Amino acid sequence: MNPRVKEIISIEPFTIKALWSDGKVRMIDFGNFLSEFKQNEESHYYKILQKDTFEKAKTDGRTIYWDNIVEMVDTDGSVIPSPLDFCPDVLFRNAVLLE
């Protein structure tokens, strides 16, 4: 199993530097990683590639996510806002070791 995102150290457009569960610091360049979505305004990824939204990234000790980016249907049939997150293994594959 690959390491998980333990803590976000810094957020800049459109990179996140994070401490991973293996004790190493890595940077993920979402601008590069998600470059094909920069012009697609209908994409959920386009939403996080907006500076004000990108800066609201969070971690749950496992991955990186943004609140209220997508919608899902709840068990009662109502549509509710949901976070957009990434598989931590995908983040790890796109991360660059810094230290």
pTM of this prediction?
0.92
How high is the pLDDT of residue 91? 97
Lookup result for tokens 């796109």: 94
Flag whether pLDDT at 99 surpasses 80. no
Report residue 1's pLDDT band, with 50, 70 and 90 as the boundaries.
confident
- Domain ranges in the chain? 5-97
pLDDT in tens, 63-95: 999 999 999 999 999 999 999 999 999 999 999
Residues 6 or more apart whose CB falls under 8 angstroms from that of 11 comprise 17, 54, 55, 57
Q: What is the pLDDT of residue 64?
A: 98
pLDDT bin (cut points 50, 70, 90) of residue 2 is: very high
Identify the CATH class of 5-97: alpha beta
